[in-house]
Structure 1
Amino acid sequence: MPPVANPSPEPADHVLVNVERISKLFRIYDKPADRLRQSLASRIRMPGRAPREYGRNFWALHDVSFSVKRGETIGIIGRNGSGKSTLLQIIAGTLSPTSGEIEVNGRISALLELGAGFNPEFSGRENVLLSARIMGVSAEEIAARFHEIEAFADIGEFIDQPVKTYSSGMYVRLAFAVAIHVSPDLLVVDEALAVGDTAFQTKCLTRIRDMQKAGVTILLVTHSTNTLVEYCDRAIYLKRGHLIKDGPCRDVVKLYANDLVDEEGGRAIDIDVPEGERAASESGAETKKVESDKTSILDVKITDEDGRERTTFSFDDPFRVTVSIRVSQPNLRPCFGVQLKSVDDIVLWSTTTQHMNIAMDALEPGTYHFTWSLRANFSGNRYVVAIGVGDVESGEYKRHARLPYAGHIDVLPQADGGSGWLAPCPAFDFSQ
């Protein structure tokens, strides 16, 4: 059975978490010995001379304020070093803020960075018992739920082995199993789920759905904009310790994506959407493109294999996406990308020439055209096409230009084929 939130007499809109002007200061030292020197310098003062400073201040959070109502799921997004983990640790009570106040009205269950909360010398079983008791769960409750925890973690005989022998995947399996089975009012999940395999991540997200239905409040840090949009009621964007935006998920994701490109030298500009394609953009698809001074996307055409422009295809029909670009500066290692998304901006599939191991020659300034040849082997639905152009730097794809809405295609549903995004061509056989 999925875990159930603790019964509460408060109304549904009761504020469970209130963060008021939280800031956090860390002292950073270049060498371990500098920490000792600073401690000694602050105690041994020379008359008329200020003590020497061996470290420097680093503000991980600056004056962050927000509130979370009971039953809400809030996604927190931002680049590495933006203060996400620090904020969750303060909410969970494992860190104290330098200034500001925080109030949490309920039992917290936290899955923070890998390694937090478990004693590596204890067995998995011992750590389950210890962690649950620390979170206020009685011995009787732990005994009643242990079988469910063990079954969800699914680590077999390792449950009785020291945690220090676990792989990172086994560790996060057990940690998540404990976190969801202690009847929390607030579940706090850092990016630890990214360690697990795909099947386990799906299992965890399914359980999160169950907890949402049970009224559990959830704070979820993720780099996945898809997870943010699909699972969260609203989103918070942190940047260098500052709260940049707190609002609807799609608005936050849009700002976050544009900021990422801005930091790579790009800018967001408005483009015109053809009248026949405007319906898709109004139904949720993004209508901005991002481009830099290095590369511009001039035009995109969606055609059938005979070159006729069209947007409606039957299952498995071939289609082509032809892109025209202008290269303004030499591109030594060009890389091109394509995505297929739902109309509410959830990425369903994507690839780049780098992922496909396609060797690209360097591009001199000029106008170029390239074509993605694809097949409509997915279920009946509307699909938005996104296009990207960039280069490969230090092994990573760096965008110069991106068109989140480059057009759309409508795939006609297969007769008696089911519904959804996938088209697995189902067959059914029954025998007695």
Structure 2
Amino acid sequence: MTNAIRLRNVNLHYASVAFRERSLKSLFATWFSQSRTKRDLTDIHALKDITVHVKQGERIGLLGHNGAGKSSFLKMVAGLYPISSGSRDVRGTIRSMLDLSLGFEPDATGRENILYRGLLLGLSPRAMRSMEAEIVEFADLGEFIDYPLKTYSVGMQVRLAFAISTSVGGDILLLDEVVGAGDARFMGKARARIMNLVEQSEIMILASHDLTTLRQLCQRGLVLADGHIVLDAPIERAIEFYEEKFSK
């Protein structure tokens, strides 16, 4: 099967409560609460009439200001957000490194969160147990792996989430500037692992504000604004357009 992504006239709405909640437990509790307010049910029109075809071998860069729709685009492709209308056809298994904090439970230990995160990524408990030792070694958290996540620093949480997400296989790599904390040694390991993932992937989509990285890793650029794709072009032209229209 040839890996590909085909989106036709895709629209994405989601409730504002889903945008605010940070853990699965709190999100489900709010959804099923009898005391939800009308404000909780307000829809956000995050993506508007998105049509794009990504072929096997392509490296795509997403450009746009915060709120333009880059993260929503990636989560929609990953299947985390169901589309409201249009068609979404994704052929190939997905490895997503998006919101690293999503699915973490602060009262559970790091080791327990490995299981929770794996379930969110669609893996079985047995599969996660088989990968646990490698994940623990890469995260290098020492005895803290058996401490509640709420005792972790931000950098420690990022290390654990990164170790989990990059241990899961897939043909389509989705990246959203995930590595922003950690000591120098870990950052070195993380960059090396990301480059290896990029080389192994059949399709890559990277959302980033780092134009140098986009030039290095991508051949094609999608510029988003207010949920629309306003330009689909070779990466250099996409960067020039973004700088002209949105960087002043």
TM-score range, shorter chain: 0.7 to 0.9
1:241-320 to 2 correspondence within 5 Å? 241-261=227-247, 264=248
Change (3 A) 1:36 1:129: closer
- Residues 205 and 68 from structure 1, CA distance in 2 versus in 1: closer, same or farther, beyond 3 angstroms? farther
Aligned to 1:60: 46
> Structure 1 CA distance, aligned partners of 2:130 and 2:108?
21
Partner Cα separation in structure 2 for residue 154 and residue 191 of structure 1: 21
Look up the equivalent residue of 2:99 and give its one-letter code.
E
The structural deviation recorded for 1:58 is: 4.6
Match of 1:247, SS state, is: strand
TM-score relative to the length of structure 2: 0.79
**Cα offset for 1:116?**
0.5
Note the 1:21-420 alignment, pairs <5 A: 21-26=9-14, 36=37, 58-139=44-125, 141-196=127-182, 199-261=185-247, 264=248
Does 2:7 align with 1:19? yes
In structure 1, stretches of 5+ residues that fail to align are 1-9, 30-34, 40-53, 265-432
Q: Percent identity?
A: 36
Shift of 1:139: 5.0
Q: Which ranges of structure 2 fall in alignment gaps of 5 or more residues?
A: 18-35
Measured in 1, the distance between the counterparts of 2:238 and 2:46 equals: 21
Bigger radius of gyration: 1
RMSD after superposition: 2.8
CA distance in 2, matches of 1:245, 1:62: 14
Displacement of 1:85 in angstroms is 1.2
Residue 60 to residue 38, structure 1, CA distance change in 2 (3 Å): closer
Closer/same/farther in 2, CA of residues 114 and 181 from structure 1, 3 Å limit: closer
- Whichever residue aligns with residue 10 of structure 2, its letter is I
Whether contact under 8 Å (2:173, 2:203) holds in the other structure is yes
- Does the C-alpha gap of structure 1 residues 66 and 113 become closer, same or farther in structure 2, counting only changes over 3 Å? same
What secondary structure sits across from 1:194 in the alignment?
Answer: coil
TM-score by length of 1: 0.48
Once the two structures are TM-superposed, the CA of residue 78 in structure 1 deviates from its matched residue by 0.8
1:202-256 deviations in Å (ceiling 9; x for gaps)? 4323212212332343322111001111122322211111102222221111111
Partner SS for 1:65: strand
> Which string of whole-angstrom CA distances, capped at 9 and with x for unpartnered residues, describes residues 47-101 of structure 1?
xxxxxxx97x653211112122334332212101101111122122222222222
Mapped partners of 1:182, 1:144: distance in 2: 11
Give the paired residue count.
230
Runs of 4 or more consecutive aligned structure 1 residues displaced over 6 Å after TM superposition: none
TM-aligned CA distance change 1:86 to 1:191, over 3 Å: same
8 A Cα contact 2:218 2:235, kept in partner: yes
Query: Residues 3 and 203 of structure 2 are in contact (CA less than 8 Å); yes or no, is this contact kept in structure 1?
Result: no
> What is the CA–CA distance in structure 2 between the aligned matches of 1:222 and 1:104, rounded to whole Å?
22
